[in-house]
A and B are shown apart, each in its own frame.
Chain A
Amino acid sequence: MSTVENVGTLPRLGRLGWAFLPVAVAAAVLALLPPIWFGDSPFTTSLAVQALVFASYGVGFNLIFGSTNQLFLCVGALAGVGGYGAGILANETSLPMLAGVVVGTLSAALVGGLLSWIAVRRSLGIIFTGIVTLVFSLGFANLLLGQRDLTGSETGLIVEGVPDRLGDDTVGGYYLFAGLLVAFLIIFRVLQLSHIGWAFRALRDDEVAAELAGVDVARYRIYAATVGSAMIGLTGALLAYSAGFISPATYSFDRVDVRVLVMVAFGGLGTLLGPLIGAGVFAIVDEQLTASLELREVLYGVFVIAIFLFFRRGVVQAIVSLYERVFGAGEPPKPPALQASRE
């Protein structure tokens, strides 16, 4: 009778279920990785943790730049606000880890929101926003270096009060960050599917049109920046506890921002799993090239150029498009744009 129809068909997931399938798949993959691949090697585990950290940074960055076109070149600095906020609190007071994490996260959210508010108030375009946030990044690094007593300057800060099980080269630490990343992905997905996500897409497509359609561009930008910065700050704070030791280099522009930018662009700006894919690929590349830091730098440069020249929407998207064109009914190429003369 009624059971006959149900035999042999997939369980009905409903629209919501399908929407979160990618997140569920990612979570499953992440959960299974340690036992399959690297459970025993602290070195590989720490690489994996690093990849997760960067993927988490990436989701936050995706929310800020990928979704609302705000070029925040201060991901490292925001993470640093979270990390040093938590670290200094842990060392100067006897508050528990949770307090440090909360303070770090809120501070980063505040800073990020403030930067966005300033950019909105002064109508800064993408370039100037980039420069201002870059200036903030470098300024923050100098601040850390200058405040020797508080931050330990280049020698770094040891963060006390950390459970060993959550160290950044342990499986415990891995699952901590994996859980964090999945949580971020869920939040990102929820936003993507909500009216907020619609507003984001509208304002990215055509800011003026979105404004005219009633989208309060300014407000959405600040929201996105605040939430994204909170994510980044939270990750930075947890990293401080997990690693037990941080220095300005941990959160510097070269180490963090460039990597995050390339990674997310590689995986696909604005997409859900882009940061994860990008982080994964770069982790593998890093593992292969542990020998030469300089060669890695050269490779990054080549990647940056290649991505922004050929794979503007991310390598993943390029592969998907290729697949569609070969196997599916691809759309015919758009008519040639204005035939400007060759000068």
Chain B
Amino acid sequence: MRAVILDGLVLGLAFGLLGVGMTLVYGLAGVINLAYGQIVVFAAIVISLLMEDGMSTLLAAVLGVLAAAGLSALLDLTLMRPVYREHGEERTLLGLLLTLGAAFVIAGVLTWRYPDGALYIFVDGDPISVIGVPMAVGSLWASAMALVAAVVLLLFFGATTFGRGVRSVIQDEIGARLVGINPSFVRTVIFAVSGALAGVVAIAQSMSGPLTVNAGFELTTFALIVAVVGGLGSVAGAFLAGVLLGVVNALSAHYIGQYITTIILLSAAALTILIRPRGLLGR
């Protein structure tokens, strides 16, 4: 049981980052980015290609994260421009539809050029014992990365001037403009940050098993579920929801079955919307 829960936590950390990436963009730009899973896959493919070329894992990973951040920012600078001219529900709907289109384009291109594409980062070493449970070294690395990313984010939003600027745009965009903050620039940066997070997820996930080129849609679904359960727009909520759902996923998959597990996670999202739409920690 402890092993299952620990596995769940490792998965949950990745879920958390996925959810955070999704919820950040919603909270700031009002857009549900359905292309998010594809950006994770994109990062994975980039890293695997670089590694195939002989590059060291570390350098490839860093470049992969940067590439994902770049693709994300590009998405904001091009496709999202007309979306920002709308407001409220119209904006969310248009953003959803356009990113859906982008998801198909990215998925199509990636599966077309790299039909067998996958990323698998094998970390050598004997299992390390954590509270009596032998954990694969890869899983521990993945968790560590996720935690570091979470801490960096926390510092960014809490302590830097720019980070505070981002929070201010979420709370009152007009007020932010009046103090000299450029919401457009902030949105692009946040898209880039969410892309970087996607890159981190790609690395973390690929340490426990191959991340294939077809995983995009599934990843987007998970990201959406976690973001919704955590409360759309709440970064802390997404992280918490991710960890919780990761544990639930592990327990359910172990004791019940694969298909039911997915249904349980999906139901969590539906129930959240129906019973407590603001999610765990949303406003």
Whether the complex brings A and B within 8 Å at their CB atoms is answered yes
Alpha-carbon gap, A309 to B104, bound state (A): 16
The reply to whether B104 and A130 contact each other, CB–CB distance below 8 Å, is no
Contact of A139 with B by CB under 8 A = yes
Which of chain A's residues has its CB closest to B260's CB?
Answer: A146
Chain B, residues 157-189, CB within 8 Å of chain A (1/0): the string is 000000000000000000001000011100000
B95-103, B192-200, B201-209 - interface stretch: B95-103
B97 touches A127 (CB 8 A): no
Minimum Cβ distance to chain B for residue A315 (Å): 15
Q: How far is the CA of A216 from the CA of B136 in the complex (A)?
A: 59
Whether B267 sits at the interface, judged by CB under 8 Å, is yes
Does the CB pair B269–A127 fall under 8 Å?
no
Neighbouring B residues of A125 by C-beta, 8 Å: 89
| A25 in contact (CB, < 8 A) | no
> Is there a chain A Cβ closer than 8 Å to B56's Cβ?
no
Contact of A304 among B98, B182, B224 (CB under 8 A): B98
Q: How many A-B residue pairs have CB under 8 A?
A: 110
Q: If A132-B274, A135-B266 touch, does A294 touch B111 (CB 8 Å cutoff)?
A: yes
A303 & B101 in contact (Cβ 8 Å cutoff): yes
Residues of B within 8 A of A88 (CB): none
Is B109 part of the binding interface, using a Cβ–Cβ cutoff of 8 Å? yes
A298 touches B101 (CB 8 A): no
Known: A128-B277, A142-B266, A343-B184. A301 touches B105 (CB 8 A): yes
Q: Closest CB-CB distance, A289 to chain B, in whole Å?
A: 11
A301 to B35 CA separation, bound complex (whole angstroms): 11
Min Cβ gap B83→A in Å is 9
Q: Are B108 and A130 in contact (CB under 8 A)?
A: no
- Tell me the interface secondary structure of chain A in the complex: helix
Cα of A128 to Cα of B92 in the assembled complex, Å:
11
Per-residue interface assignment for chain B, residues 88 to 126, with 1 indicating a CB less than 8 Å from any chain A CB and 0 otherwise: 010011101110111111111101100100000000000
Give CA–CA (A343, B169) in the complex, Å: 12
Q: In this complex, what residue of A is CB-closest to B182?
A: A343
**Residues on the B chain within 8 Å of A258, using CB:** 100, 104
Size category of the binding interface on chain B: 35 or more
B57 within 8 A of A: no
* A308 CB contacts on chain B under 8 angstroms: 94, 97-98, 101
A122 to B271 Cα, complex, angstroms: 11
Q: Point out the residues of chain A lying under 8 angstroms from B266, CB to CB.
A: 135, 138-139, 142
Q: Within the complex, which residue of A71, A135, A295 is in contact with B267, where a contact is CB–CB below 8 Å?
A: A135
Q: Is A292 an interface residue (CB 8 A)?
A: yes
Given A131-B269, A305-B79, A343-B184, CB of A298 within 8 Å of CB of B112: yes
The answer, yes or no, to whether A126 is at the interface (CB within 8 Å) is yes
Q: How far, in whole Å, are A132 and B111 apart by their CA atoms in the complex?
A: 28
Closest beta carbon of chain A to B107's beta carbon, Å: 6
Contact A131 B111 (CB under 8 A): no
Contact B100 A132 (CB under 8 A): no
Whether A297 and B108, one on each chain, are in contact in the complex, defined by CB atoms closer than 8 angstroms, is yes
Min distance, Cβ B35 to any Cβ of chain A, angstroms: 9
Which residues does B use to contact A, with CB under 8 Å?
A: 32, 79, 82, 89, 92-94, 96-98, 100-109, 111-112, 115, 177, 182-184, 217, 221, 224-225, 228, 257-260, 262-263, 266-267, 269-270, 273-274, 277
A residues apposed to B, CB below 8 Å: 71, 118, 122, 124-128, 130-132, 135-136, 138-139, 142-143, 145-146, 254, 258, 292, 294-305, 308-309, 343
Provide 25 A-B residue pairs closer than 8 Å at the C-beta atoms, listed in order of the A residue: A124-B273, A125-B89, A126-B93, A128-B277, A131-B224, A131-B228, A135-B267, A142-B259, A142-B260, A142-B263, A258-B100, A294-B111, A294-B115, A295-B108, A297-B105, A297-B111, A298-B104, A300-B101, A300-B104, A301-B106, A304-B101, A305-B105, A308-B98, A308-B101, A343-B182
3 cross-chain pairs, A with B, having the tightest CB-CB distances, nearest first: A301-B104, A304-B101, A146-B259
Known contacts A146-B257, A301-B106, A305-B101, then 17 further A-B pairs from the complex at CB < 8 Å, ordered by chain A residue = A71-B93, A126-B89, A127-B89, A127-B92, A139-B262, A142-B266, A146-B258, A254-B217, A258-B100, A292-B112, A294-B108, A294-B111, A294-B112, A298-B112, A301-B104, A304-B100, A309-B82
